Structure 1
Amino acid sequence: MTQLSGVLDHADGERRCRWCGTDPLYVAYHDADWGVPERDPRALYEKLILDGFQAGLAWITILRKREAFRAAFEGFRPEIVAAYGEADVERLMQNAGIVRSRAKILGAIKGARAYLAMAEKGEDFSDYLWGFVDGAPIVNRPRSMADVPVSTPISEALAKDLKRRGFTFCGPVIVYAFMQAVGMVDDHMEECWRHGAVTEKR
């Protein structure tokens, strides 16, 4: 396997962003999920919450627990999570399959309530988020990780507004990682086979 500036040549003949390494789960996530524009409001809520749970951890840790998270949070349906009380918090705190952080669990509940508050005002969560990039992915052309920022003025503005609305664990760095993951930004390396390959979620 040959290491290039920002990519790796894989045994299947594809060149991928170096960050996904060779872990099959990470490679599959890189190929099928990361950077693919997501427009479903519920899925966007889920991803934002999972990125919040990632704070201080590696994304692969969350990825390996993603199905356990989905089961524990009942599909991340905001209308269900918003109704969680102390018994649900304690149930989640006893679940070894997820990251057992009381603050992050409470943040997921607060986020669900903020999501519903927006919906009650007629604000679609997807339209709201995508409005920060004028509805279309920002396509960058990085050649190494040094070319990829950890945050941008847009992620700073979005983070500030999310916090104003009641979301937590959504600082500019987390929000930029979220924007990359849901395709609001295409930060696949220019030499990666996925760069620019998708403009809408399949």
Structure 2
Amino acid sequence: MGYCSWAGMNDANRIYHDTEWGIPVHDDRHMFEHLTLECLQCGLSWDLMLKKRDIFRVCFDNFDYDSIAAYGDTDVERILHTEGMIRSPRKVRAVIHNARCCQEVRREFGSLCDYIWGYAGGKTILYQGHAAGPIPVSNGLSDRISKDMKKRGFQYVGPVTIYSHLQACGIINDHDKDCPCWQKLVRAYPTVTKRREHEVR
């Protein structure tokens, strides 16, 4: 039976692929975790993100964005001096800043999940042709969301980062069609099929 090629790179990728990637997320903490991992990954490898995920959870209160939004300079120093943590003050401050932006989004939309899922009408998108490849690194949808998030003050949310986020949290199903996860997700969650060329930028 077919399988998404990247899933076989190592055990961490396989577990992430089989148990998490592409499964629709409707919990704000988990949604913020996915978004933060994508932001922290900018310029680095995804393998590194998976290896350091437990460290990130300790540093950032298990991605509770209300707790993170209250962080100050002492917390920044604590995080930067945590063994194994990425030594990037800019990224650490961006996570804190994004947590505060999430609070503003929640005030307007009810939740971070409602805001992001609103772009897909609450359904997982199946783009015609994606399941057979090739898959783009960004598209019109990720570009629109990126622009809106930047207007709201979010950082490290370019269209490529946002496209990866949409894949991870199940808004876009980009599993190979012969991957067991593709059928499992299609059966379990509401979907909408779209032509990719209609995703204008």
Structure-1-length-normalised TM-score: 0.87
Aligned with 1:51 (options 38, 44, 55): 38
More helix by share: 2
How far the C-alpha of 1:161 sits from its partner, in A, is 0.8
2:34 matches 1:17 = no
Query: Do 1:69 and 1:97's aligned partners in 2 also have CA atoms closer than 8 Å?
Result: no
Residue 75 (structure 2) aligns with: 88
| 2:3 alignment partner, SS class | strand
2:95 matches 1:108 = yes
Query: Do 2:105 and 2:115's aligned partners in 1 also have CA atoms closer than 8 Å?
Result: no
Q: Tell me the distance in 2 between the aligned counterparts of 1:137 and 1:121.
A: 23
Would the alpha carbon gap of residues 17 and 116 (structure 1) be closer, same or farther in structure 2, given more than 3 Å must change? same
Aligned with 2:132 (options 125, 133, 143): 143
5+ residue gaps, structure 1: 1-13
Letter in 1 for 2:43: G
Structure-2-length-normalised TM-score: 0.87
How far the C-alpha of 1:157 sits from its partner, in A, is 0.4
Q: Tell me the distance in 2 between the aligned counterparts of 1:106 and 1:128.
A: 23
Query: Do 1:186 and 1:196's aligned partners in 2 also have CA atoms closer than 8 Å?
Result: no
Q: Tell me the distance in 1 between the aligned counterparts of 2:108 and 2:148.
A: 16
How many residues were matched structurally?
186
How far the C-alpha of 1:122 sits from its partner, in A, is 4.9
2:64 matches 1:77 = yes
Letter in 2 for 1:189: D
5+ residue gaps, structure 2: 190-201
Residue 20 (structure 2) aligns with: 33
Query: Do 1:81 and 1:109's aligned partners in 2 also have CA atoms closer than 8 Å?
Result: yes
How far the C-alpha of 1:19 sits from its partner, in A, is 1.2
Q: Tell me the distance in 2 between the aligned counterparts of 1:89 and 1:108.
A: 10
Letter in 1 for 2:11: P
Aligned with 1:157 (options 120, 140, 144): 144
